[in-house]
Every structure is written in structure tokens, then in C-alpha cells.
């Protein structure tokens, strides 16, 4: 194989894999023996129950939570945003659990035209839950849904998205649901036994404390605010639902929008709203995806890359979110979870190598670059067959 001399080709080979000249793949034959039998094992075998067939891995799942609106104007907005998430889930083939819809809304599949500007502040008093028993309240349904979806081991993420109002009393942040609210601590407790990755997208006021409560390895937490004291109505959910349901936020033009790209788009679109309206910004979104419980602001990014000169760039969140996609492209869907995991590891190596380019001899740099590029092309070669 000729050595690639263009870093951009190697950098994007996982997106445009079909233009990379495939390497000559060595083929080897192997003998698959029954479990527990070696090639030299000639001892008689006792009868045993056949092994249970492997359970299929859980696919991505969306738990979409719509809060108590307080006014009809807020209700229309939340329905609009929820409709975008539901449409995206349907297009991506993602199963979903929707909490917070009335029976009439559940039956109505039409999506409202767009977001309206509310004329009144949201009520701080939760709406009366249309439940006959406490067990049917939205908070209880949410906890049960998280526990049910996280009870089986899977490498595919569970997405929990909240659209509504939030509260913070100085110690506890909560989602304002129909019936009892649900706190960050309650959600953290519900997620303790999760055996799969988690994306928690909190589109509400007072949402930053959810990072402190839920941050952990293999989790991504997105909040609309930078602290619990940003109590005004949040518009972040409007931009986030737009980003996740379209390719408008696809910064690197690979045919799919990553969670990082969606968050960057939504953060910038929300900031533009306040600038255009001449208002003081009352929400500043955060993203945490490295488990340190701190979160990062979008200002540390130019496009979808960390700004040059940033302090400790290796500690800045975003690397994992760049590899999570709610609606996957056709090329991405062809990959198995194992191939995707291997691809992500190679991409991380490629990113680390790019940062070391100036400190390595050119010949060594290009050799390392070629090795990663060939392995990436082999993954996509296999997926395309």
C-alpha cells in the first residue's frame, strides 16, 4: 500500500472510507471447537444442558420526559420540541418511552409548527397529576423506566431527555413534573445499577446540578445552565431538539450529528437569541463527558475543535460526545458495536497523534499515521461487505 501523505485523508478515512485504497488483508483459517474442548482433549464428555443462547444486545433507547408546563404557551413549546425528538427517534429506529403526555397528546401525532415566545412566567406550582395512584405519577414512571432500561448490560446508550421547567432550592435541583417533582439525587439513585452508557440531556432552568449528581465514566450530561441559580425559562431545548433532528448542526459534514455537535449548535444558537433580542443571557449550557463532574462551556471550542492554547486540553470535555450519535448515518449503522468500539479507539489514537505532530520526525509521524489509517480502512472495508 502506498503511504498516505495527506493528514486530512487519514483524519477523515473513517468518514470517507471508500476512497482509501484497501490494504491486502491476511486471511487465516481457524478451527472452532465446542466450548470446553481443546484440540488434544479426547476424554469422554458428560451430557450437559446446552448453553443458553446469547441474549441480543439492547439497542439505543430514548426516555423522553415532558414537564408540567404551567401555561398553554409553554405546553405548545414543549410539545414542539418533544415532537422533534420523537420524529428523530422514529427515523433512527430507536424505541422510546414518553412520559408527561396526556392521552389526547399521545393520540395526536402532529407536531406543532414551531416555538412561540411565552408572555407569562412559568408557574412554580406543579400541575395536578392526572394519576389515580401515586404509583402512576410521572416521577415514579420515570424511575421505573430508567431502572428497566438499565437492568441489562449493553454498549448502546440510554438517552434520557427532559423538556420543561426546573427548580433549585440551594441544595437540591429538581424537574417540575406533573405530580411530585423528581430530584437530581433520585435520578442518580435510579441510575446506580445502569449497565449501559447514559446520555442525560436536561433542557430546563436550574439544571447544572444534575452534572454533579449524575457525572460518571461512560456518561454524558448536558445541561441548559451553568449553575442552579439560572432560574429563568430555558430556550436551550428549542435549539437542542432542532440540532438532534436535522443535519443543520453537522459541523464536520459526515452525514450525522454527534452529541458534541448538537450541543455546540444549541449553545451557540441560544446565545445568539439573547444577543439578537438585546437581552441579558440567563442560561449558559454545560457538557460533561469525562466523569469529572465539572462540565465545559462551548466558548472553549472553535467549530468542533478545542481552541488553540487552551489549558490542559486533555481534560476538556467533548471527546466522547463527538462519537455518540442519536441518528446514525447509513455508514455508521453498518458497523457492529464491536467495530464501532474499535473505530473509536483508533480515532482517539489518531487525535492524540495529531497533537504530537510537531514533536515527531516526519517519517515517524507518517508511519504511525499510516498504521492507524490502514486499520480504520479495514474496519470500514469489512462493514461494507
Residue 26 has pLDDT above 50, yes or no: no
Q: Are residues 235 and 349 in the same domain?
A: no
All three cell numbers of 225: 445552565
Who contacts 278 (Cβ-Cβ below 8 Å, separation ≥6)?
none
Query: In the listed set 288, 307, 330, which residue is the last one of a domain according to the structure?
Result: 330
Provide the strand spans (E) within 164-264: 166-168, 173-175, 182-183, 198-203, 219-223
**Co-location of 117 and 260 in the same domain:** yes
| The pLDDT value given to residue 161 | 98
What mean pLDDT is predicted for residues 218-226? Answer: 98
Q: Does a structural domain hold residue 54?
A: no
More confident call, 126 vs 179: 179
Residue 77 domain flag = yes
Task: Give how far the C-alpha of residue 14 lies from the chain's centroid of Cα atoms, to the nearest Å.
Answer: 20
Half-sphere exposure in the Cβ direction for 288 (13 Å, CA): 25
Based on the fold, state whether residues 218 and 366 are members of the same structural domain: no
- Name the packing angle between helices 72-92 and 236-245 (round to 10°): 20
Helix 236-245 crosses helix 259-277 at what angle (to 10 degrees)?
A: 140
SS3 63: strand
pLDDT at 119: 62
Which of 109-118, 173-182, 303-312 has the largest mean confidence?
Answer: 173-182
- The 10s digit of each residue's pLDDT in 141-166 is 999 999 999 888 999 999 999 999 99
| Predicted confidence band of residue 19 (pLDDT cuts 50, 70, 90) | very low
Structural domain boundaries, residue 366: 334-385
Q: Who wins on pLDDT, 18 or 254?
A: 254
The three grid cell numbers given for residue 209, joined into one nine-digit string: 446540578
Question: What confidence score (pLDDT) does residue 12 get?
Answer: 47
Q: Does 343 share its domain with 325? A: no
**Res 158: pLDDT:** 97
Digit-coded pLDDT (tens) for 74-132: 999 999 999 999 999 999 999 999 999 875 454 344 455 577 777 655 544 333 344 44
- Per-residue pLDDT tens digits for 331-372: 998 998 889 889 989 988 988 898 888 899 999 999 999 999
Read off the pLDDT of each residue in 37-59 and give the average, rounded to a whole number. 51
Contact yes or no for 97/62 (Cβ under 8 A)? yes
- Please tell me whether residues 92 and 237 are part of one structural domain: yes
> What is the pLDDT at residue 4?
43
Domain annotation covers residue 19: no
- Same domain? 320 vs 341: no
Q: Residue 327 and residue 17: Cα distance in Å, rounded?
A: 20
Same domain flag for 78 and 195: yes
Contact 336, 306 (CB under 8 A): no
DSSP state of 122: P
CB atoms within 10 A of CB 201: 30
What pLDDT, on a 0 to 100 scale, did the predictor assign at position 385? 57
Angle at 141 between CA 137 and CA 147, to 5 degrees: 150
Measured distance CA(97)–CA(220) in Å, rounded? 19
CA distances, 98 to each of 105, 106, 174, 278, 349 (Å)? 11, 9, 19, 36, 38
* Same domain (yes/no): 350, 306: no
Which whole number is the average pLDDT over 234-251?
A: 96
- 100-139 burial, b at 16+ Cβ within 10 Å, e below that, comes to bbeeeeeeeeeebeebeebeeebeeebeebeeeeeeebbb
**Residue-level pLDDT at 17:** 39
Cell of 149: 432500561
Could you tell me if residue 29 is inside a domain?
no
Residues 210 and 346 in one domain: no
Residues 102 and 161 in one domain: yes
Terminal-to-terminal C-alpha distance of the chain:
20
Do 207 and 111 belong together in one domain?
A: yes
Looking at the fold, whether 190 and 155 belong to one and the same domain comes out as yes
> Is residue 246 helix, strand or coil?
coil
User: Would 23 be classed as within a structural domain?
Assistant: no
User: How many structural domains is the chain composed of?
Assistant: 2
pTM exceeds 0.85 for this model: no
Assess if residue 255 is contained within a domain: yes
Residue 26 lies in a domain: no
Please return the burial class of 52, using the count of CB atoms within 10 Å of its CB with bins 0-12, 13-18 and 19+.
exposed
Query: CATH number for the domain including 312?
Result: 3.40.50.1460
Taking 70 as the threshold, does the pLDDT of residue 203 lie above it? yes
**More confident call, 287 vs 17:** 287
Could you tell me the CA-to-CA distances from 362 to 2, 349, 351 in Å, in that order?
16, 17, 17
CA atoms within 13 A on the CB side of 204: 30
Strands 305-306 and 219-223: unpaired
* Residues 38-55, mean pLDDT to the nearest whole number: 48
Residues forming a β-bridge with 161: 64, 201
Question: Residue 28 falls within a domain, yes or no?
Answer: no
Amino acid at each position: 500500500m502506498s503511504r498516505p501523505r495527506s493528514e486530512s485523508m487519514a483524519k477523515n478515512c473513517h468518514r470517507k472510507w471508500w476512497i482509501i485504497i484497501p490494504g491486502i488483508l491476511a486471511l487465516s483459517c481457524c478451527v472452532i471447537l465446542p466450548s470446553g474442548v481443546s484440540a488434544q482433549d479426547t476424554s469422554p464428555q458428560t451430557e450437559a444442558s446446552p448453553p443458553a443462547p446469547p441474549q441480543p444486545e439492547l439497542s439505543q433507547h430514548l426516555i423522553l420526559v415532558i414537564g408540567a408546563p404551567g401555561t398553554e404557551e409553554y405546553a405548545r413549546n414543549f410539545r414542539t420540541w418533544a415532537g422533534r425528538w420523537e420524529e428523530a427517534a422514529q427515523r433512527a429506529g430507536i424505541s422510546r418511552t414518553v412520559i408527561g403526555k396526556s392521552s389526547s397528546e399521545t393520540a395526536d401525532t402532529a407536531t406543532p409548527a414551531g416555538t412561540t415566545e411565552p408572555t407569562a412566567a412559568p408557574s412554580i406550582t406543579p400541575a395536578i397529576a392526572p394519576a389515580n395512584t401515586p404509583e402512576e405519577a410521572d416521577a415514579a414512571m420515570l424511575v421505573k423506566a430508567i431502572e428497566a432500561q438499565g437492568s441489562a448490560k449493553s454498549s448502546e446508550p440510554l438517552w434520557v431527555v427532559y423538556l420543561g421547567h426546573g427548580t433549585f432550592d440551594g441544595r437540591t435541583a429538581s424537574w417540575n413534573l406533573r405530580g411530585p417533582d423528581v430530584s437530581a439525587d433520585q435520578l442518580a439513585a435510579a441510575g446506580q445499577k445502569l449497565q449501559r452508557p447514559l446520555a442525560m440531556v436536561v433542557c430546563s432552568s436550574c439544571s447544572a446540578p444534575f452534572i454533579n449528581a449524575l457525572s460518571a465514566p461512560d456518561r454524558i450530561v448536558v445541561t441548559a445552565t451553568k449553575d442552579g441559580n439560572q432560574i429563568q425559562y430555558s430556550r436551550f431545548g428549542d435549539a437542542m431538539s432542532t440540532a438532534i433532528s436535522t443535519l443543520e448542526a453537522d459541523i464536520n459534514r459526515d452525514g450525522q450529528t454527534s452529541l458534541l455537535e448538537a450541543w455546540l449548535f444549541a449553545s451557540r444558537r441560544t446565545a445568539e437569541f439573547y444577543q439578537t433580542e438585546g437581552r441579558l443571557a440567563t442560561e449558559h449550557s454545560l457538557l460533561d463527558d469525562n466523569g469529572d463532574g465539572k462540565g465545559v462551556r462551548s466558548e472553549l471550542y472553535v467549530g468542533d475543535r478545542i481552541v488553540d492554547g487552551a489549558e490542559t486540553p486533555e481534560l476538556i470535555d467533548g471527546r466522547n460526545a463527538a462519537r455518540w450519535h442519536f441518528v446514525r448515518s447509513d455508514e455508521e449503522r453498518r458497523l457492529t458495536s464491536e467495530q464501532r468500539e474499535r473505530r473509536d479507539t483508533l480515532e482517539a489514537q489518531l487525535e492524540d497523534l495529531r497533537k504530537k505532530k510537531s514533536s515527531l520526525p516526519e517519517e515517524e509521524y507518517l508511519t504511525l499515521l499510516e498504521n492507524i489509517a490502514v486499520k480504520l480502512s479495514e474496519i470500514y472495508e469489512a462493514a461494507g461487505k
